[in-house]
């Protein structure tokens, strides 16, 4: 019997060991993802990828396959929960069963009393000038999270500005994603550290060194947030790099935009930043109790809701908000996004709105900086186009902005793209703005963008030959992994 087993091993398994490994890993991966209650499309995509490319697929799954690495996610959620509890004002003396539920139990409700200013221009200089002005005006704290901190002119200028304020006694904290800022030389940040500022890397792949505590190749902090004195904040899609913003015009710069918010809603962004900071630094939110409880004074009349998404929040609140906004749209929906690879539910809800006669308009880059994602989006575009959606392709430069407009009364600006990695894996944040008057500048922005767009119906993308069909099908099949 043993001889027969050894002979079978020699004749079949050893010559096909890669396939055998792939089959075992695919089985383990499938069981693991079923326990995690993943979407079927995600499970099938991973199994297909592992079976077709056993070694590459196995490495990719072990490195990137965990949507919410349990231990890391639980640690981050614990920090969020404590930050939520600390942000509650217990000065009224309530205790026992009469104590209200902490804010961490659910996403915060929309808060009134805010002002919102769109930071947009074709060259990305508006966000730069606003950032510099806010850094100069801050008196107590400057908290900045960025996915990409460039080592060029813009990155060096940001560090110089922050270092100058740190030397004047302002508490400066800079948090950069370790993968997004992988090419960043840490010598770049030395002037800020020597001036008394603090710098941390978020979730390095290899957690070595004093600035690195927890590591993951899959879970990325894609948020772009800057909070000043706890009462003013910039949020959007622009990284701190020459490709996104800067003091001078640059024709190669990505088309992007952000918003400046002042008022009570900024407390939500403070809480997001401090939770991320404590996770990356190992500090306790208890150290920031006063900042977490700070209630910014009213600065306007706009209602704003801050929503975060990622492994540190229960469920998928950002995705749920997007689905709800689309479902509740009565007349028209405008979506600006660089990448369109939605999950099945979000896509079907959007398609249903088109077929129900609502005006659905998509503005996308003609060519993004991720060609594979451009292939993966094609089946979605073709289906939506046939159903009657208006699809515009921006061709002046790379369109990197993210914007939802619903019925001319709601605008959503933040860091989240309309792809599954952004919606279900990355740490993201968005501001939901509920005010027709505040939405008016965003409508103007859409009008300006359309001047540099070509219709999808008139573009080569509408044609489909056999080569593109094969590539498109492959990209669409692997799309749930992107």
For 57-88, the pLDDT digits (tens) are 555 555 555 554 566 667 777 888 888 888 87
Asked if residue 245 lies in contact with residue 154, where contact means CB atoms within 8 angstroms, the answer is: yes
Alpha helices in 138-238, H assignment, sequence order: 153-167, 190-194
Interval 372-377 mean pLDDT: 87
Provide CB contacts within 8 A for 236, sequence distance 6+.
119, 127, 224, 256, 257, 258, 259, 401, 402, 413, 414, 415
Asked if residue 360 lies in contact with residue 381, where contact means CB atoms within 8 angstroms, the answer is: no
457 confidence band (pLDDT: 50, 70, 90): very high
186 confidence band (pLDDT: 50, 70, 90): confident
**What is the pLDDT at residue 154?**
94
* pTM for the whole structure: 0.83
**31 has a pLDDT exceeding 50:** yes
**What is the pLDDT at residue 14?**
46
Structure tokens at 333: 């929906």
What digits encode the pLDDT tens for the residues 92-110?
A: 444 444 444 444 445 568 8
- DSSP states of 125-145 as a string? HHHHHHHHHHHHH-SSEEEEE
Average pLDDT in the chain: 83
Question: Quick one: DSSP state of residue 315?
Answer: S
- DSSP states of 22-89 as a string? HHHHHHHHHHHHHHTT--HHHHHHHHHHHHHSHHHHHHHHHHH--TT-HHHHHHHHHHHHHHHHHTS-
**305 has a pLDDT exceeding 60:** yes
**What is the pLDDT at residue 66?**
54
Structure tokens at 112: 């009134």
Distance CA 182, CA 161 (A): 22
**284 has a pLDDT exceeding 70:** yes
**15 has a pLDDT exceeding 50:** yes
**301 has a pLDDT exceeding 50:** yes
What digits encode the pLDDT tens for the residues 221-237?
A: 999 999 999 999 999 99
Asked if residue 452 lies in contact with residue 395, where contact means CB atoms within 8 angstroms, the answer is: yes
Distance CA 301, CA 220 (A): 34
**What is the pLDDT at residue 95?**
43
Burial label for 252, CB within 10 Å (0-12, 13-18, 19+), is exposed
Burial readout 192-216 (b: 16 or more C-beta within 10 A, e: otherwise): bbebebbbbbbbbeeeeeebbbbbb
**359 has a pLDDT exceeding 70:** yes
**What is the pLDDT at residue 209?**
46
Could you give the C-alpha distances from 417 to 126, 141, 461, in angstroms and in order? 22, 29, 21
């Amino acid at each position: 019997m043993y001889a027969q087993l050894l002979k079978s091993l020699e004749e079949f398994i050893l010559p096909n060991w890669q396939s055998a490994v792939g089959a075992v890993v695919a089985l383990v991966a499938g069981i693991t993802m079923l326990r995690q209650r993943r979407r079927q499309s995600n499970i099938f995509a991973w199994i297909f990828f592992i079976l077709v490319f056993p070694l590459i697929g196995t490495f990719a799954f072990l490195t990137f396959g965990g949507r919410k690495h349990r231990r890391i996610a639980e640690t981050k959620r614990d920090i969020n929960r404590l930050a939520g509890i600390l942000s509650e004002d217990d000065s009224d003396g309530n205790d026992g069963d009469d104590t209200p539920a902490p804010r961490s139990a659910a996403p915060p409700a929309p808060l009134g009393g805010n002002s919102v200013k769109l930071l947009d221009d074709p060259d990305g200089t508006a966000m730069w000038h606003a950032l510099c002005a806010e850094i100069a005006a801050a008196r107590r704290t400057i908290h900045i999270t960025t996915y990409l901190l460039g080592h060029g002119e813009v990155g060096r200028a940001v560090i110089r500005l922050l270092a100058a304020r740190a030397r004047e006694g302002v508490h400066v904290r800079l948090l950069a994603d370790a993968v997004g800022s992988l090419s960043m030389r840490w010598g770049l940040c030395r002037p800020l550290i020597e001036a008394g500022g603090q710098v941390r890397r978020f979730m390095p792949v290899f957690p070595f060194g004093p600035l690195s505590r927890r590591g993951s190749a899959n879970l990325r902090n894609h948020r772009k947030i800057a909070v000043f004195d706890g009462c003013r904040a910039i949020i959007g899609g622009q990284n701190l790099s020459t490709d996104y913003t800067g003091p001078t015009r640059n024709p190669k710069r990505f088309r992007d935009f952000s918003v400046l918010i002042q008022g009570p809603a900024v407390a939500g962004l403070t809480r997001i930043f401090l939770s991320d900071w404590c996770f990356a630094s190992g500090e306790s939110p208890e150290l920031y109790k006063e900042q977490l409880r700070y209630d910014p004074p009213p600065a306007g009349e706009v209602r704003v809701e801050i929503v975060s998404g990622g492994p540190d929040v229960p469920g998928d609140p950002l995705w749920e908000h997007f689905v709800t906004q689309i479902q509740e749209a009565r007349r028209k929906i405008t979506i600006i996004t660089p990448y369109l690879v939605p999950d099945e539910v979000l896509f079907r809800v959007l398609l249903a709105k088109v077929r129900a006669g609502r005006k659905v308009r998509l503005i996308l880059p003609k060519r993004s900086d991720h060609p594979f994602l451009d292939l993966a989006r094609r089946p979605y575009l073709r289906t939506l186009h046939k159903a009657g959606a208006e699809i515009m392709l921006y061709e002046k430069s790379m369109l990197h902005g993210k914007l939802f407009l619903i019925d001319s009364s709601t605008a959503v600006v933040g860091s989240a793209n309309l792809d599954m990695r952004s919606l279900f894996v990355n740490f993201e944040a968005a501001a939901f703005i509920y005010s027709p008057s505040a939405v008016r500048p965003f409508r103007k922005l859409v009008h300006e963008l359309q001047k540099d767009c070509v219709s999808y119906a008139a573009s080569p993308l509408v044609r489909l030959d056999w080569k593109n069909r094969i590539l498109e099908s492959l990209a669409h099949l692997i799309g749930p992994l992107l």
